[in-house]
Chains A and B, each alone.
Chain A
Amino acid sequence: MFAAVVQKEPDYVLSHCAKYLARDNADERHSFFGSDAGQARARISEPWRFPIVDADDSGATDASEWNHVTFIYRAPDDRPDISVQLLTPCLGLHAPAALNPVDDSLYLALTLRIPKGRRHRYRFIVNGHAQLDPINPQTMTTPQYEIWSSFWTWTYNEPINLERWEMALVRRMTNALLPFQGRETRNLIERGLNDGNVTHFFRMDIPAGVANYIDNILAREERHHLHSYRLCLPMIDRVLRKRHPSVEPVNVSDPDYKALFDDMKNRSPKLIEDGWDPATYDSPGYFLYVLRRHTWTGAFSHPKYGGNPGGLGWAFLGETFRTTADPTKTAFDWTRAVEAPLGKSTEYRG
């Protein structure tokens, strides 16, 4: 089995549920612009937080390799004694496990210890009937065309929503936006930025994981932007192929990407002439805006979100920028604040 049942304190569950699930409103103020219309989750806030994927805080020596995943079901007000079980291949499909009442609340919960970097499917069995998780919007379809609820643990790095060609194009575009990994930035450092310190150039050859971060966030926190990516990436691909017919879009140069970004920012007639369809997506500049924000957060947020593998982005900053008073010292000693084994903090455990 991939997973084991672990115990979580009731206040942990309540503190992760009340803000999002306790409410009276009947209006669908969280419908993600209609994509969840008519479903229970359209009434609640941030359903993507469920099941709760969190650090393994057991204190075990290998805890950094695992997550605790807490499945939640809120019983109806008039049926607090409802029976709910979790059915998932993690535990074996022959062995559904019961979600247990949390104190005297209406929440039922079950926590599993699951390795990081995995994606799994599950269903709830509610009073004997299998159903999808009414909170979590994520689903996956099996080869038998069965739809299951799904979740993934931290640092999962397989495409979830974007296709592989889309991932490749996003990766190429984000490389052209990042303050590292581009040829021009390498040249800039070689020409003297920070005394031409080039000892860390090897990091520029390691993927920064930003495309993976974006795929993750489009599946969960910011799924309201997934549609934009689906609409815009084919148009960008079309524009690049028209401009550079003998070059694959992922091999187009940085200056040519800069020209593309300029055209997107300015919504230039040339962009439209080369294949951008304003009727499909009217504001290429807004898409660039979103892409730039996603690129920055993917490169510099904690690796658990899917980018910045091993703290690559932080290490780039720490190794590029040195203090003036002592150039042997970094101007961004991120490791002292961050938990081991990623960082070196002797106090903070993550």
Chain B
Amino acid sequence: MGTLRDHFDVVVIGSGAGGAPIAYELARESKSVLVLEKGPLLRTQEERGAGRLSDFKRDEMFNAGPERIITTPGMVNTGASFFTSHVEPDLNDEPHVFTNVDRPQDGSKITIEGYTAQVVGGGTQLYGAVSLRFAERDFKLKSANEGRKLQGDPNRDALKHVIDWPFDYDDLEPYYAKAEYLIGLNGTVAGQAKRFSKDSYQTPRPPNPISEFARVGMGKLGLRTYRTPLAVITEDHAPSDRKAGDPKVGYVNRYGDPLGYKSNTWVSLLRPTIREGHDLELRPNCVVTHLEASGRTISKIHYRDASGRPCMVTGKVVVVACSAIESVRLLMLSAEEDRSSFGSLVRYQEDGSLLGRFFLTHAFGGAEVQIKGQRFDKSISLDSDYATDSCASQDFLDAHGLWAGGAIYNNTSDQCLPITMARTEGDTDLDFFWGGFMSAQDHTSEAALQWLSAAFGARLSAAFMANQVPRFENRIELHPDVRDKWNRKCGHIIKNFHPHDEQVMSAFAEVCRQIMAAGVPEYTELGWGSVYGNAVRIANHILGGARFAQTRELGVLNTNCRIWDIDNLYVTDGAFMPTSGGANPTLTIQANAFRVADHLKQI
């Protein structure tokens, strides 16, 4: 093997939703681009060659495998079990420490919440692929709430730290359209409340019949429905040269797709760019340890190769996009390497510094029922069939005294496979796997069969995804004591919800409950509610921590996602978001990355 190149026009750290669009665009502008990815490159069957196999499997033990035990000392859950997928980190090697900002007396715990996949394609490999645009109002939540009085805001501080995005929906709309076309989505425009300049959706496959209850329920409540946009191809996709097949097999959320129908950023953006001969180099299994600054410029990117040996590379432009927690952590670790230079450029630990602040996820929850007397084959499914924007309307928000809205959609593929059914029974978060099954169900063969008889192919849920109130106190820090396998300080997530989040989540959960009540003739209610009160829950929607803003006083990044005082350093994963949007964030991260790429083309 020849000597590795050590200088590029652009170095992108992270190959997921925030990094891949930039690599795609700039490589096609004749720039030399290097993508450094911590995780492995797991190929599809087609890439491996005729008759050969993918490294992703339709295997429930790949979703959340065998039990491991947390060994990090001093945590409240030291000695507890954890279950992760094959491309999520070993928590004893790369722990995330969580502390409830409002209840530090509860102690700290290690959590799997807040990780995306460590693999080429990042979180887009394992996600359920729900690819909604944000509502137009989501971009202007400060302006939209001027003079409004909110319910459930006892201290009148819910809006204290809310800022508008530095652009509005119309500015991002062309990039939504570009992302939808290039990445490959199916869905329908009709029924959506957002304005579309172009419909690039492929035709959805027929819904699973169980979803009809959700559609009917939404309809009876007067909610306009549409087919949930999913990043899964249903037709041949010319931009990425992919052939369509049968994607509806139930192995969806938390599974990589061995056939490449799920439109992750590897198969949709990076792979075609490399195949077409552009100067895009991918180095998987390489973890960036820190950045080095010289003056106002990032001069070196230090990383470890697949053997763990230190390496270094330079780039005229450096893009950090390794998921919000890890991106902020990388900036902080770099600052600790050189406080006087890099540290001062990012204002690390200075009074008023916003680095790490306003960490966000989503206000989310839903309702789940067990349908009586009817059974369906839920394994013939993708992640969702029907969605509605109606609860993002101004009328809905005014009626409930809410600051922002969200989307509601039904889950189709959940609980469609037997091990996942048991492991997620009654779950509250990813740390809880197996807890409900073990504690709630009787322990005889007869009881197990009766449980299956009632539940198998009969469970239906509706979920909501709404904006979370930004709090200054919600933050990412470096933990002073806990170290990763490279002896670097680990990420420490300190957060909780705002009281107004409860108002939002209660209103949305009630709508979800009503959808089930209106749509399902006879059912047993399994539960409805939200993640309010369970502060650790993140849903792998990792946002904020380095938000962008019109001024350096309000944000870590400028409007083009560049660190204010560093001329060539950009952050383009979810860390840039000042508010979390009323929908799953991936498509917006991708659209914004395409927007930043357009800016980078001009410099």
Q: Which residue of B lies closest to A184 (CB)?
A: B446
Within the complex, what minimum Cβ distance (angstroms) separates B72 from chain A? 8
Q: Tell me which of A20, A106, A254 contacts B307 (CB under 8 A).
A: A106
- Contact code string B42-59 (vs A, CB < 8 Å = 1, else 0): 100100111111110111
Within the complex, what minimum Cβ distance (angstroms) separates B282 from chain A? 10
Q: Which residue of B lies closest to A183 (CB)?
A: B445
Within the complex, what minimum Cβ distance (angstroms) separates B158 from chain A? 41
Within the complex, what minimum Cβ distance (angstroms) separates A171 from chain B? 13
Report chain A residues within 8 Å CB of B49: 59
B449 located at the interface, meaning its Cβ lies under 8 Å from any Cβ of chain A in the complex: yes
Binds B, one of A127-135, A274-282, A299-307: A299-307
Q: Are B453 and A193 interface neighbours, CB within 8 A? A: yes
Binds B, one of A85-93, A159-167, A236-244, A319-327: A319-327
Within the complex, what minimum Cβ distance (angstroms) separates B439 from chain A? 8
How far apart are the CA atoms of A62 and B446 in the complex, in Å? Answer: 40
A138 located at the interface, meaning its Cβ lies under 8 Å from any Cβ of chain B in the complex: no
Within the complex, what minimum Cβ distance (angstroms) separates A342 from chain B? 11
Q: Are A337 and B306 interface neighbours, CB within 8 A? A: no
A338 located at the interface, meaning its Cβ lies under 8 Å from any Cβ of chain B in the complex: yes
Q: Are A331 and B485 interface neighbours, CB within 8 A? A: no
How far apart are the CA atoms of A135 and B603 in the complex, in Å? Answer: 49
Q: Are B246 and A347 interface neighbours, CB within 8 A? A: yes
Q: Which of B436-455 contact A (CB under 8 A)?
A: 437-438, 443-446, 448-453
- Chain A: interface size category: 35 or more
Binds B, one of A117-125, A144-152, A290-298: A290-298
A230 located at the interface, meaning its Cβ lies under 8 Å from any Cβ of chain B in the complex: no
- Interface centre among B305, B448, B487, by most chain A C-beta atoms within 10 angstroms, is B448
Q: Are B45 and A331 interface neighbours, CB within 8 A? A: no
Q: Which of B50-71 contact A (CB under 8 A)?
A: 50-55, 57-61, 65-67, 69, 71
Q: Are A188 and B450 interface neighbours, CB within 8 A? A: yes
Report chain A residues within 8 Å CB of B193: none
A156 located at the interface, meaning its Cβ lies under 8 Å from any Cβ of chain B in the complex: no
A24 located at the interface, meaning its Cβ lies under 8 Å from any Cβ of chain B in the complex: yes
How far apart are the CA atoms of A132 and B456 in the complex, in Å? Answer: 47
B129 located at the interface, meaning its Cβ lies under 8 Å from any Cβ of chain A in the complex: no
Within the complex, what minimum Cβ distance (angstroms) separates A148 from chain B? 25
Q: Are B92 and A177 interface neighbours, CB within 8 A? A: no
Q: Which of A185-227 contact B (CB under 8 A)?
A: 185, 188-189, 193-194, 217, 221-222, 224-225
Please judge, given known A-B contacts A24-B486, A59-B50, whether A331 and B457 are in contact too, CB under 8 Å.
yes
- Contact code string B440-476 (vs A, CB < 8 Å = 1, else 0): 0001111011111100110000000000000000000
Q: Which residue of A lies closest to B52 (CB)?
A: A57
Within the complex, what minimum Cβ distance (angstroms) separates B425 from chain A? 10
How far apart are the CA atoms of A330 and B380 in the complex, in Å? Answer: 11
Q: Are B58 and A331 interface neighbours, CB within 8 A? A: no
Within the complex, what minimum Cβ distance (angstroms) separates A275 from chain B? 20
Report chain A residues within 8 Å CB of B92: 29-30, 45
Q: Which residue of A lies closest to B66 (CB)?
A: A221
Please judge, given known A-B contacts A105-B306, A224-B69, whether A55 and B376 are in contact too, CB under 8 Å.
no
Q: Are B444 and A334 interface neighbours, CB within 8 A? A: no
Q: Are B40 and A14 interface neighbours, CB within 8 A? A: yes
Q: Which residue of A lies closest to B83 (CB)?
A: A293
Q: Are B444 and A337 interface neighbours, CB within 8 A? A: no
How far apart are the CA atoms of A31 and B286 in the complex, in Å? Answer: 25
Q: Are A179 and B377 interface neighbours, CB within 8 A? A: no
Q: Are B93 and A293 interface neighbours, CB within 8 A? A: no
B399 located at the interface, meaning its Cβ lies under 8 Å from any Cβ of chain A in the complex: no
- Contact code string A7-47 (vs B, CB < 8 Å = 1, else 0): 00001101111111111110001100100000000000110
- Interface centre among B57, B308, B418, by most chain A C-beta atoms within 10 angstroms, is B418
Q: Are A25 and B307 interface neighbours, CB within 8 A? A: no
Report chain B residues within 8 Å CB of A189: 449
Within the complex, what minimum Cβ distance (angstroms) separates B67 from chain A? 6
Q: Which residue of A lies closest to B95 (CB)?
A: A29
Q: Give chain B's interface secondary structure class.
A: loop
Report chain B residues within 8 Å CB of A323: 375-377, 457
Q: Are B71 and A29 interface neighbours, CB within 8 A? A: yes
Please judge, given known A-B contacts A258-B444, A321-B456, whether A302 and B376 are in contact too, CB under 8 Å.
no
Q: Are A15 and B55 interface neighbours, CB within 8 A? A: yes
Report chain A residues within 8 Å CB of B484: 25
How far apart are the CA atoms of A329 and B379 in the complex, in Å? Answer: 13
B304 located at the interface, meaning its Cβ lies under 8 Å from any Cβ of chain A in the complex: yes
Q: Which residue of A lies closest to B456 (CB)?
A: A321
B281 located at the interface, meaning its Cβ lies under 8 Å from any Cβ of chain A in the complex: no
Q: Are B66 and A179 interface neighbours, CB within 8 A? A: no
Q: Which of B64-91 contact A (CB under 8 A)?
A: 65-67, 69, 71-72, 89-90
How far apart are the CA atoms of A104 and B306 in the complex, in Å? Answer: 10
Q: Which of A309-333 contact B (CB under 8 A)?
A: 313-314, 317, 320-325, 329-333
A71 located at the interface, meaning its Cβ lies under 8 Å from any Cβ of chain B in the complex: no
Report chain B residues within 8 Å CB of A225: 67
How far apart are the CA atoms of A337 and B261 in the complex, in Å? Answer: 14
A289 located at the interface, meaning its Cβ lies under 8 Å from any Cβ of chain B in the complex: yes
Q: Which residue of B lies closest to A15 (CB)?
A: B40
Report chain B residues within 8 Å CB of A194: 453
Q: Are B259 and A300 interface neighbours, CB within 8 A? A: no
Please judge, given known A-B contacts A302-B61, A321-B456, A331-B377, whether A25 and B485 are in contact too, CB under 8 Å.
yes
A58 located at the interface, meaning its Cβ lies under 8 Å from any Cβ of chain B in the complex: yes
Please judge, given known A-B contacts A24-B486, A193-B453, whether A301 and B61 are in contact too, CB under 8 Å.
yes
- Contact code string B369-384 (vs A, CB < 8 Å = 1, else 0): 0000111111110000
Please judge, given known A-B contacts A55-B53, A350-B53, whether A321 and B485 are in contact too, CB under 8 Å.
no
A77 located at the interface, meaning its Cβ lies under 8 Å from any Cβ of chain B in the complex: yes
Q: Tell me which of A18, A24, A185, A302 contacts B449 (CB under 8 A).
A: A185
Report chain A residues within 8 Å CB of B61: 297, 301-302, 305
- Interface centre among A63, A185, A188, by most chain B C-beta atoms within 10 angstroms, is A185
Q: Are B375 and A331 interface neighbours, CB within 8 A? A: yes
How far apart are the CA atoms of A300 and B446 in the complex, in Å? Answer: 17
Q: Which residue of A lies closest to B51 (CB)?
A: A59
How far apart are the CA atoms of A208 and B190 in the complex, in Å? Answer: 49
Q: Are A301 and B41 interface neighbours, CB within 8 A? A: no
Q: Are A57 and B306 interface neighbours, CB within 8 A? A: no
Q: Are B377 and A338 interface neighbours, CB within 8 A? A: no
How far apart are the CA atoms of A241 and B284 in the complex, in Å? Answer: 57
B134 located at the interface, meaning its Cβ lies under 8 Å from any Cβ of chain A in the complex: no
Q: Tell me which of A11, A23, A105 contacts B305 (CB under 8 A).
A: A105
Q: Which residue of A lies closest to B305 (CB)?
A: A105
A336 located at the interface, meaning its Cβ lies under 8 Å from any Cβ of chain B in the complex: yes
Q: Tell me which of A59, A188, A292, A350 contacts B438 (CB under 8 A).
A: A292
Q: Are A296 and B93 interface neighbours, CB within 8 A? A: no
How far apart are the CA atoms of A218 and B484 in the complex, in Å? Answer: 27
B245 located at the interface, meaning its Cβ lies under 8 Å from any Cβ of chain A in the complex: yes
B578 located at the interface, meaning its Cβ lies under 8 Å from any Cβ of chain A in the complex: no
Q: Are A24 and B53 interface neighbours, CB within 8 A? A: no
Q: Tell me which of B50, B69, B438 contacts A289 (CB under 8 A).
A: B438
Q: Are B376 and A324 interface neighbours, CB within 8 A? A: yes
Q: Which residue of A lies closest to B92 (CB)?
A: A29
Q: Are A19 and B438 interface neighbours, CB within 8 A? A: no
Q: Which residue of B lies closest to A330 (CB)?
A: B377
Q: Are A58 and B51 interface neighbours, CB within 8 A? A: yes
Q: Are B65 and A221 interface neighbours, CB within 8 A? A: yes
Within the complex, what minimum Cβ distance (angstroms) separates B417 from chain A? 8
B19 located at the interface, meaning its Cβ lies under 8 Å from any Cβ of chain A in the complex: no
How far apart are the CA atoms of A103 and B284 in the complex, in Å? Answer: 14
**Interchain residue pairs A-B with the least CB separation, the first 10:** A59-B51, A15-B40, A22-B308, A182-B445, A221-B66, A18-B285, A57-B53, A179-B448, A337-B249, A106-B307
Q: What are 20 A-to-B residue pairs whose CB atoms are below 8 Å?
A: A16-B40, A17-B306, A19-B90, A19-B285, A25-B484, A25-B485, A29-B72, A33-B69, A74-B307, A178-B445, A179-B452, A180-B445, A185-B449, A258-B444, A288-B443, A292-B438, A305-B61, A332-B456, A336-B249, A348-B58
17 more A-B residue pairs beyond the given contacts A292-B443, A300-B60, with a C-beta to C-beta distance below 8 A: A14-B285, A24-B308, A30-B71, A45-B90, A106-B309, A176-B444, A179-B448, A182-B445, A184-B445, A222-B66, A222-B67, A261-B444, A300-B419, A321-B456, A324-B374, A325-B209, A331-B375
